[in-house]
Amino acid sequence: MTKPVVAIVGRPNVGKSTIFNRIAGERISIVEDIPGVTRDRIYSSAEWLTHEFNLIDTGGIDIGDEPFLEQIRQQAEIAIDEADVIIFLTSGREGVTSADETVAKILYKTKKPVVLGVNKIDNPEMRDQLYDFYALGFGEPFPVSGSHGIGLGDLLDEVAKHFPKDEDAEYDENTIKFSFIGRPNVGKSSLVNAILGEERVIVSDIEGTTRDAVDSMYTYEDQDYVIIDTAGIRKKGKVYESTEKYSVLRALRAIERSDVVCVVLNGEEGIREQDKKIAGYAHEAGRAVIIVVNKWDAVEKDEKTMKVFEQTIREHFLFLSYAPIVFLSAKTKKRVFSLLPVIQRVSENHAMRVQSSILNDIISDAVAMNPTPTDNGRRLRIYYTTQVAVKPPTFVVFVNEPELMHFSYQRFLENRIRDSFDFEGTPIRIIPRHRK
Ligand code: GDP
Ligand code: GDP
């Protein structure tokens, strides 16, 4: 199920990041814990009632040295490109400003739903300020106070009304959805072109409706695939597209819609922090992951080069120890087609279900080999383990006290499961749950 994307836009100081943090809450993500990855959050998963969605604070995307108005204009365009629903945020303290009108003019161009929020309405008396905001032309303004946490429920109710139906359901269950993600210039578009250019591949574009997606379907050796468009792959040229933060947003969008994500690295340049951040999101989202080292043609090599690069990747991407690594060249097409069977394999692993009886034997053997941890004289007891979901494979372990399941022991169990089943390319999740 693809989560809808909600973007907050508005001129500086209306309270976008305050509202973002309120809605996103204190979710701690694995990505933020990767050393060296900066903590400037502009993107978070969020929940409202039964809805799960992704939230973007476009105010956090700096667009180089552009003048102020140009920045907010481009941020609004990013919202239009990326979001399913846009929250246009203004401030009741300052009233409608000309910068608000600039944002409004850009948002008039989209057919996407826009919900108008008026922030800093900290008390009921201030509601009189709201009437001016009808003039912006987005219907009823929703009063909120980011600092006091007032009104967000009504605003989010309105936002949730506009969430699209899940469009990806239109693809057949057996079709593998995958994407190439990565920093600008690693060669994502070249890879798509290298695959689609091949004769044995049948191409047909499906025009997305509200999602603006241009997906490419093709069949290779009897397997149907859909390449999920990233990087605005076939419509490049906007100023903000070369900014790193935007490339992360694009990646997130593609990750959401994919089963398998190919994290593309530039073999010529080596690994950058941004690569880890992008890969971290794919891991966190529970997608199958392949690390693709592109531009391998441009690397001066001897017989050790590949091994050394592989080790460097393993050191930098500890959280992706399960991901296969493929070295290739979009330019010469060398090994480009060997990637497809790897995608197919990890996709199968991602959707694999294992038998409970075998699973429980493995866990019993594991416990016999390495006794469960104790704390203050209490010992973790494992009663029963069962697979509750696929994509990614998710296991619930029924225990006496979930707190006793230390991270290291969980990792040990994960490794035992991995030793017994082929989960190459897919993250697996283990959830300890209390049972009396
Ligand atoms: P952004 O530039 O749009 O992301 O705005 P910020 O979230 O950084 O907020 C700008 C300023 O407005 C900060 O000083 C916030 O503390 C303040 N602010 C945000 N929300 C509210 C609110 O609901 N009421 C009041 N009075 N101030 C707020
Ligand atoms: P994207 O921004 O990730 O989509 O990257 P592009 O596909 O636009 O490629 C960026 C640049 O890298 C272009 O100049 C490509 O010609 C070049 N490039 C892409 N793949 C390869 C490759 O395998 N080898 C070499 N030498 N250059 C490549």
Predicted local distance difference test score (pLDDT) of residue 203: 47
Predicted local distance difference test score (pLDDT) of residue 167: 58
Give the pTM. 0.80
Predicted local distance difference test score (pLDDT) of residue 217: 83
Given ligand 2 and candidates 185, 248, 278, 299, which is best to mutate, with the most ligand atoms within 8 Å of its CB? 185
Q: Counting ligands in written order, which one lies closest to the CA of residue 329?
A: 2
Is 307 annotated as a binding-site member?
Answer: no
Is 297 annotated as a binding-site member?
Answer: yes
Pocket of ligand 1 contains residue 258 by CB under 6 Å: no
Q: How far is CA 361 from CA 274, 350, 355, 381, 397, in A?
A: 41, 22, 10, 15, 13
Q: State which amino acid sits at residue 288.
A: A
Q: Quote the ipTM score.
A: 0.80
Predicted local distance difference test score (pLDDT) of residue 231: 46
Reduced to 3 states (helix: H, G, I; strand: E, B; else coil), residue 414 is: helix
If you search the block for the tokens 């990747």, which residue do you land on? 313
The rounded average pLDDT for each run of 10 residues, N- to C-terminus, in the chain (436 residues) is 87 92 69 50 83 89 78 88 93 95 94 96 89 94 94 96 74 91 88 75 44 71 86 57 74 88 96 89 94 97 96 95 97 94 98 96 96 93 96 96 94 96 96 90
Q: Strand (E) positions, 208-346?
A: 214-220, 223-227, 260-266, 288-294, 325-327
CA of 292 to the centre of ligand 2 (A): 13
Other beta carbons less than 10 A from residue 151's beta carbon: 18
**CA dihedral of 167, 387, 349, 279, whole degrees rounded to 10:** 70
If you search the block for the tokens 């694995």, which residue do you land on? 30
- Judge contact between 69 and 102, C-beta under 8 A: yes
Predicted local distance difference test score (pLDDT) of residue 168: 54
DSSP 189-235: HHHHHHHHTSTT---EEEE-STT--EEEEEEETTEEEEEPP-TTTTS
Helix H, strand E, coil C: the string for 56-121 is EEHHHCCCCCCCHHHHHHHHHHHHHHHCCEEEEEEECCCCCCHHHHHHHHHHCCCCCCEEEEEECC
Q: Give backbone dihedrals phi and psi of 6, rounded to 5 degrees, phi first.
A: -115, 130
Atom 17 of ligand 1, nearest CA residue: 15
Given ligand 2 and candidates 190, 192, 264, which is best to mutate, with the most ligand atoms within 8 Å of its CB? 190
Is 195 annotated as a binding-site member?
Answer: no
